[in-house]
Amino acid sequence: MVLFIFLGSLFSAQGQEKQQDSVKVEKLDEVLVKSVRVKEKAPITHSNVTKKEIAKRNLGQDIPILLNFLPSVVTTTDAGAGVGYTGIRVRGVSPQSTNITINGIPYNDAESLGTFWVNLGDFASSVESLQLQRGVGTSTNGSGAFGASINVLTDAVSKDASGEISNSFGSFNTRKHTVKFSTGLLNDHFEIAGRLSNISSDGYIDRASADLKSYFIQGSYVDANTLVKAIVFGGNEITYQAWYGIDAQTLEDNRTFNFAGIYTDDDGNTRFYDNEVDNYSQDHYQLHWNQRYNNNWSTTVGLNYTYGRGYFEQFREDDDFETYNLIPFVDVNNNLINTTDLIRRRWLDNDFYVINASANYKNDDLDMIFGGSFSHYDGDHFGEIIWAEFASQSDIRDRYYDGNSLKNDLSVFSKANYQLNEKVSLYGDLQVRNVTYKTFGNTSDLVDFEVDKAFTFFNPKAGITYDLNTYNSFYFSYARANREPNRTDFESNNSIEPEQLNDFELGWRHKKGNFTFNANAYYMLYNQQLVLSGRLDDVGNPIRTNSGESYRLGLELEAIIPVSPKLTLQPNMTLSTNQNKETIISLNGELVDLGKTDISFSPEIVAANAIVFQPLKNLQMSLLSKFVGEQFMGNTENPESKLDSFFVNDLNVTYTIETDSFFKSIVFTGLVNNIFNEKYVSNGYFGSFDFDDPDSPTGISTGFFSGFYPQATTNFLAGITLNF
């Protein structure tokens, strides 16, 4: 990987030097993610996505939606159209269990462990490449991967100056406006590049609007032995809340209805508060230094500071004073009242610091990386009443709850690839990770929230790759991962346990010419897996529970089939069984053993296909198909918790005009989503509650509730990009 940095000196001709400079710069950028990525032949199941592939559908939808057609992937969006709050599940595993890094820096929220892509508006426009590893994958920075890891590499240094103006429009008043530039290498060493973006959409769901403003700026220094990058990116999102979903009857009668902000005015009319929004800003500051010392040794150091702050605002009707620690009764015109209409904001204000460091030794047979990562998180949680019809003793900006959280995450690792002989290569990976988590103060329910936990995890991994011949290779790997509970887990159950995963992967890779076929069998054995219960807390966070022993057993198939020089098929399919080995629930006041049950949000079949037709050099048309089998939103296989299977098709067209004028090229892009107008639901929640029932033998009966997030029917996006 590192020999490239001297190759430029081997060429003297101008054309050869230009070509080698491009290779050199690209490779140096890739070093940023070498410690968290794997090579093509590594015994780790993975998919690579390039900048060119992302650009074909990059019309404003979030990164999870752009990854929808990769193997074992299921995506969803609260607003229904791919803009705003979106999520991704891989092999049925929740987003909280998917590790995300950007240039090797952890991006998952330190407390919730989730990834809020809404804070990365139009980030796809600044992505050079990404790698999705399924299963445990290689050791990574930040929280452990329990279903997948996605590591993102941002824009590479560009040798040539360039500019880009991109605009797209579509259904639900969706718009994206992007401006990018690069100075190219100045004096053969320095580059400044940047992006400004604005994405807005009304959403498919009523009032589920999004206004996403973002930026990306990088300054780089590069020479034969050194790459230094200073990167700043971030933005602000204002998103009308749509996280409540709808019940089954509303789904049937009015599938775009949104309960957020609903209240009744003094005349008995149903109204909706116009500022029931999530308003959050996040800024990231990264500094990376890659240094090569000789033919064998190189090092990488990365520093990060992230500042996040914002709130979600809610109108509350007839809330009790006691809910906000206010005097319970107020005299209004000689009437004692104990409730009031009010507007509240629940705030997050946090700082996140990271340092990564690694060293790489490489010779003809051995490629070894060792290093570590340390992060510190300091987050405030507090609530304010900004207006009340009857204020009791409160003043504006009084904090009715206030809490703080501190989290430290230290990990050290060593990983190596060793070429044993011409046919066999070995892979080894050892990681030790220590996590401490402390909380102070109280929660939004005015409950004391004191957590003081420390965890130490040992995560070994090993694998072997066997090259049968030029066209076929086989691999086997074993990996262990441990993962701590998140904040919501501790709020619902302070005695909740960490989860552990033993992941076995067996694969076959075949490549001959342009034909590619991959098959991978996996067995993921969990102890105390934290699975989605199907229920949500009062701000839409999914509540998880330890499930004891459970497993996922599956087969993943994918291929690239060149039917003709102009027509290519790209199918993939995952067949799996996902089981809790024992499920015990409380039903009508009694404990009931349900035996084996399906793990929530884990369909047995997930399949996709792309039919890519390129009749002309600059024209490409793709029919993209996705099938997701039926799945349960809870772990009890209750029929009321079932999501039906769905089959959705999108049509994507790109046409490029290359010119000799001011613009180097003009690219037209069109995307029609859900062309057959499928009415489907990709996500939801399910829960139970007990109530007194004198007719029940135990005096208690159990009721159930469910919520659904319907996705958009037929909709379109169209864009034009001017490159100069």
Rounded Cα distance, 698 and 71, in Å? 47
Q: What is the 3-state secondary structure (H, E, C) of 565-586?
A: CCEEECCEEEEEEEEEEEEEEE
Tell me, what's the pLDDT at 69?
Answer: 96
Phi, psi of 677 (to 5 degrees): 60, 40
Positions of E strands within 7-126: 46-50, 73-77, 86-90, 98-102, 105-106
Rounded Cα distance, 355 and 367, in Å? 23
Tell me, what's the pLDDT at 17?
Answer: 37
- Candidates 274, 396, 402, 407; CA nearest to 353 is 407
Q: Which two tokens stand for residue 476?
A: 């086997």
For 335, residues 6+ apart whose C-beta sits below 8 A from its C-beta are none
Q: How many domains does the chain have?
A: 1
Tell me, what's the pLDDT at 4?
Answer: 29
Phi, psi of 601 (to 5 degrees): 55, 40
Q: What is the bridge-based pairing of β-strands 98-102 and 148-154?
A: parallel
Tell me, what's the pLDDT at 30?
Answer: 74
Q: Which two tokens stand for residue 233?
A: 């990116």
Residue with tokens 């999530």: 278
Rounded Cα distance, 456 and 183, in Å? 46
Tell me, what's the pLDDT at 423?
Answer: 96
Tell me, what's the pLDDT at 9?
Answer: 30
Angle, alpha carbons 271-275-278 (nearest 5°) = 130
Phi, psi of 492 (to 5 degrees): -85, -25
The residues that bridge with 654 in the sheet, in sequence order, are 620, 669
b vs e for 177-215, b when ≥16 Cβ sit within 10 Å of the residue's Cβ? bbebbbbbbeeeeebebbbbbbbbbbbbbbbbbbbbbbb
With 0-12 / 13-18 / 19 or more C-beta atoms within 10 angstroms meaning exposed / middle / buried, residue 225 is middle
Rounded Cα distance, 189 and 223, in Å? 6
Kindly state the greatest CA–CA separation across the chain: 94
- Candidates 415, 533, 529, 545; CA nearest to 482 is 529
Q: Which two tokens stand for residue 217?
A: 């700026």
DSSP codes joined into one string, 188-249: TTEEEEEEEEEEEE--SSTT--EEEEEEEEEEEEE-SSEEEEEEEEEEEEEEE--TT-B-HH
Which range marks the domain in which residue 295 is found?
Answer: 4-390+398-723
CATH code of the domain covering residue 419: 2.40.170.20
- How much is the mean pLDDT over the chain? 90
Element (H, E) at 297: strand 297-320
Phi, psi of 470 (to 5 degrees): -60, -30
Rounded Cα distance, 384 and 87, in Å? 29
pLDDT tens digits for range 654-709: 999 998 888 899 999 999 999 999 999 999 999 888 788 888 888 888 888 899 99
**454, 434 in Cβ contact below 8 A?**
yes
Residues of the chain with pLDDT under 70: 1-28, 531-544
Amino acid 278 reads D
How many residues in the chain?
724
- Candidates 361, 358, 244, 341; CA nearest to 299 is 358
User: pTM of the predicted model, to two decimals?
Assistant: 0.91
- Indicate if the alpha-carbon torsion angle 119, 125, 128, 133 is positive or negative: positive
Tell me, what's the pLDDT at 393?
Answer: 83
Rounded Cα distance, 89 and 149, in Å? 11
pLDDT tens digits for range 383-420: 999 999 988 888 888 899 999 999 999 999 999 999 99
Tell me, what's the pLDDT at 27?
Answer: 62
**38, 135 in Cβ contact below 8 A?**
no
Rounded Cα distance, 231 and 154, in Å? 9
Instruction: Collapse the DSSP code of 55 into the 3-class scheme (helix H, G, I; strand E, B; otherwise coil) and give the result.
Output: helix
